[in-house]
Amino acid sequence: MYHLVCVNCEATYPADEILYNCKKCGHLLAVKYPLEEISVTRALWESRPLSVWRYRELLPVQVEPVTLQEGGTPLYHLQRLGEEMGLKHLYAKHEGMNPSGSFKDRGMTVGVSMALQLKKKSVACASTGNTSASLAIYAAKAGIPAVVLLPAGKVAVGKIAQALMHGAKVISIRGNFDRALEMVHDLCLSHGLYLLNSINPYRLEGQKTIGFEALDQLSEIPDRFVLPVGNAGNISAVYKGFLELQELDLMDRLPMMTGIQAEGSSPVVRAIREKLPEVIPEQHPETVATAIRIGAPVNAEKALTAIRMTGGLAESVTDAEILQMQRDLARKEGIGVEPASAASVAGVRKLVEQGMIERHERIVCVVTGHLLKDPDTVIKQCEPPTEINADLPSLLSALHL
């Protein structure tokens, strides 16, 4: 049986204690499995379909999971973009292909299942959009109410549409994501809703399966794993998963964990660059990639460890670089992602240009959310459709034929 452990002072807590921070020092918690008692083999996992639940021995859920068949997302070889950058082995794991269109579904299938396992009656989160969409679909599937807090005016329309349609109680606050998270945290502590932001150690357990799947799909260990970083949960989760595989002797080295942030919202990059012991929160984060418009990442402590312990990198990209890569992925590779997702590949392009990435490296970029999440940002970048009279000459003229 697993338990919870503080990542700072190593205090331990029972698995069924509902806790989001260490009671002794206030730092983050992680799920710890008795790995020496767990017997898994690659053959066992490979006998199951590629999905979050392929790896159930390393997940905390003991009840029937609340699932919508998440995971099993494609790993694409970016041939054309890779060639342009001089990289033979550049891959993108398209997490936009999950049920709600983002990687959050991996965490939420586990998180909402844990809500039921822990006998919680309602769930809540703060969100820049995707977490709320994902929570809404899994709460609907579980048949329990969900409350989501969003920063007013800063959430892409597709994500709001999802949260509303799937029946969550959607609250827009006049403040940013960081404030919304503080508020929902207080609400959950005072009123017993189950908090499903990435401060919840169980949710991150689901997200580590991105790394597991990528290993299985590549059939080898990538040299570098690149993720867009907002609240810094995902990069921390993938790293934790890799450490577990290493301890189980299923992996003999770790990829260099590399985090990419938007320039207007890059406290993790700054901490790495300036070798700070912890991040200094940014009061007014701003970026077109609203999904990662976060100034005070709650998982920063874990993310700094992931990057530092693997010899990884952190880099920021401008909004222009993000949007250019969103168009390039769409037009040169046929991969439609939202702006935050394009940040990972944009970061690789920048790091290659700076000589920070070696051209022989095998690189997996996580592209985290689907193009249709944020149609407004897409439409703004594209020529509008050409409207014509409904006759053939007008068509030929519009096509310059």
How is 220-263 classified by DSSP, letter by letter? S--SEEEEE-SSSHHHHHHHHHHHHHHHTTS-SS--EEEEEEET
Which one of 100, 117, 131, 265 is in contact with ligand F0G (CB under 6 A)? 131
Query: Judged by CB under 6 A, does residue 205 bind ligand F0G?
Result: no
Least distance between ligand F0G and beta carbon 102 (Å): 5
CA pair distance 252, 79, nearest whole angstrom:
27
- Pick the closer one to ligand F0G by CB: 67 or 236: 236
Q: Which residues contact 387 (CB under 8 A, 6 or more apart)?
A: none
- Pick the closer one to ligand F0G by CB: 116 or 292: 292
CA pair distance 133, 128, nearest whole angstrom:
10
Contact assessment for residue 50 and residue 106, using Cβ atoms and an 8 Å cutoff: no
Query: Judged by CB under 6 A, does residue 162 bind ligand F0G?
Result: no
Least distance between ligand F0G and beta carbon 280 (Å): 17
Least distance between ligand F0G and beta carbon 263 (Å): 15
- Pick the closer one to ligand F0G by CB: 35 or 367: 367
User: What would the x/- binding string for ligand F0G be over residues 285 to 324, using CB under 6 A?
Assistant: ------xx--------------------------------
How is 182-217 classified by DSSP, letter by letter? HHHHHHHHHH-PEE-STTSHHHHHHHTHHHHHHHHH
How is 5-54 classified by DSSP, letter by letter? EETTT--EEETTS--SS-TTT---EEEE--GGG----HHHHHTS-SSGGG
Least distance between ligand F0G and beta carbon 127 (Å): 3
Least distance between ligand F0G and beta carbon 365 (Å): 12
N- to C-terminal Cα separation, the chain: 70
User: What would the x/- binding string for ligand F0G be over residues 214 to 253, using CB under 6 A?
Assistant: --------------xxxxxxx-------------------
Q: Which residues contact 223 (CB under 8 A, 6 or more apart)?
A: 255, 256, 358, 361, 362, 363
- Pick the closer one to ligand F0G by CB: 35 or 71: 71
Sheet holding 194-195, edge to edge: 169-173, 146-151, 123-126, 194-195
- Pick the closer one to ligand F0G by CB: 35 or 299: 299
For tokens 């959310």, what's the residue? 369
- Pick the closer one to ligand F0G by CB: 119 or 174: 174
User: What would the x/- binding string for ligand F0G be over residues 338 to 367, using CB under 6 A?
Assistant: x-xx--------------------------
- Pick the closer one to ligand F0G by CB: 151 or 222: 151
Query: Residues in the site for ligand F0G, rule: CB under 6 A?
Result: 102, 104, 127-131, 198, 228-234, 291-292, 338, 340-341, 368-369
